[in-house]
Structure 1
Amino acid sequence: MNSALKSMTNETEMLNPEIKTNQHLIALYCGSRFGNNPIYRQTAIELAQGIAEYGFGIVYGGASIGLMGQVADTVIEHGGEVVGVIPEFMLDYEIANNDLTELHIVKNMHERKAIMAERASAFVALPGGFGTFEEILEIATWGQLNQHQKPMMLYNVNGFYDHMIAQLDHAVAEGFIPPQHRAKLIVCHHAEEIYNAIKNLETPKQFVV
């Protein structure tokens, strides 16, 4: 782990020292809205249910609204553990979910992302907006820089990520992304592909530093 990430992680661990989870956690990046097509909500529910039934928990952005709130509620409903991480400034317009295994209220987005990266054993991006795009691409960048070796997936529901996938492949073709790094960001069209990627995880819950 680089020194900046170490510093952020150490600071957030001091602010949030109590860890209550026992399950491997899957980071779910997803929207604070439901989107216009009901398929986004339905597939989020199905994915979250499957994650819990396979014995995993999740770490996510801590809100109670949109797909974010839906996946948290579904995992809890099916017996999984849920860790939410939300910056304090977002509490003005994203209502925090107080029914979680752990809720961490942090200072800023950098701390949020550091905690989520630290606690997750794998990363999955469902449909979402700017924040979702930024989070999965940043974690892919960290993977490219050998800051972790954890599975990273785009859940391409209803072709949502078709254009992003095309752009990534274009960047490979134009010589800006090495093919081996592009290959680390796995495209999944069905939840079963995600379960296959996570069910035999041996990744430690925390980075080894």
Structure 2
Amino acid sequence: MRSVCVYCGSSAGRNGVYSQGAHDLGALFHKMGWQLVYGGGTTGLMGEVAKATMGPRYDGHVHGIIPSALVAKERHNAADNDNDNSSIKSAELEEQMKIDVDDHKGSTPISWKFGRTTVVNDMHSRKRLMANESDAFVAMPGGYGTFEEIMECITWSQLGIHNKPVIIFNLNGFYDALLEFINHSIKEGFISKSNGDIVQVAHTAEEVVQKIEQYQIPEGRFNLKWEDEGKPTL
């Protein structure tokens, strides 16, 4: 079973194409029997991709990893959701997934409907566990957190810490400006052309899977020797 880490927004964005793309990717993972590793939220694109990966019968493979600070306030509500399968609760979850960035308060309840959840103490533990659990990394639209996470994965590949695929799921041209900036950095001599190939770009869920399966480790990455102490185990 392939295990794919998806970084994405805890908000849905203002264009329905983003939620649809998250649903399509999750549904494809469910169909293929792949595991989703993600940030553990139940709102926005996070909630959409997790719910789609779980499938209509909740028999998919999803591992959400979230710091306690993001769920501590709403654990009681999470338990209520797990113990009540009524249509009212389902409707509440649907509305929760569509929450806008301006209304999002940064915390989400845990629900079994979004897969298995591991609560960790801090963001560093979250990122390490997500990396350890994954065979590939995919960035969907998101904010500061998504940008930071995918750039770290790209940097780790450049440094030779891991050899895993790194895919930008460029829905609706969301990442056009970032990709243009990377090309600008290559032209200006700050990123080698070969290291530019670390990042692969997909525009559909099917292309994401294709890019993962056909990923070739780029030449010219740093061949550094990392000490065991303090090294991310990927």
Give the TM-score band, short-chain normalised.
0.7 to 0.9
1:153 partner SS: strand
- TM-score normalised to structure 2 length: 0.73
State the partner residue of 1:7.
Answer: none
* Residue pair 2:21, 2:204 contacting (<8 A) in 1 also: no
Aligned match of 1:97 in 110, 114, 127? 110
State the partner residue of 1:46.
Answer: 24
Written as runs of structure 1 = structure 2, the 5 A alignment for 1:155-166 is: 155-166=169-180
State the partner residue of 2:126.
Answer: 112
- TM-score normalised to structure 1 length: 0.82
How many angstroms apart in 2 are the aligned matches of 1:32 and 1:105?
Answer: 17
State the partner residue of 1:190.
Answer: 204
Q: Deviations over 1:93-120 (max 9, x none)?
A: 3214331543111111111110011000
Aligned match of 1:146 in 153, 160, 164? 160
2:138 partner SS: strand
Shift of 1:171: 0.7
State the partner residue of 1:84.
Answer: 64
CA RMSD between the two structures: 1.8
Shift of 1:129: 0.5
* Residue pair 1:65, 1:94 contacting (<8 A) in 2 also: no
* Residue pair 1:64, 1:94 contacting (<8 A) in 2 also: no
How many angstroms apart in 2 are the aligned matches of 1:159 and 1:200?
Answer: 22
How many angstroms apart in 1 are the aligned matches of 2:169 and 2:176?
Answer: 10
1:196 partner SS: helix
1:82 partner SS: strand
Is residue 2:137 matched to residue 1:123? yes
- Based on CA coordinates, which of the two structures has the bigger radius of gyration? 2
How many angstroms apart in 2 are the aligned matches of 1:200 and 1:176?
Answer: 27
How many angstroms apart in 1 are the aligned matches of 2:37 and 2:13?
Answer: 21
Paired-residue identity, % = 39
Structure 1 unaligned spans of 5+:
1-22, 202-206
Shift of 1:24: 2.2
65 and 208 in structure 1: CA distance in 2 versus 1, 3 angstrom threshold: closer
1:104 partner SS: strand
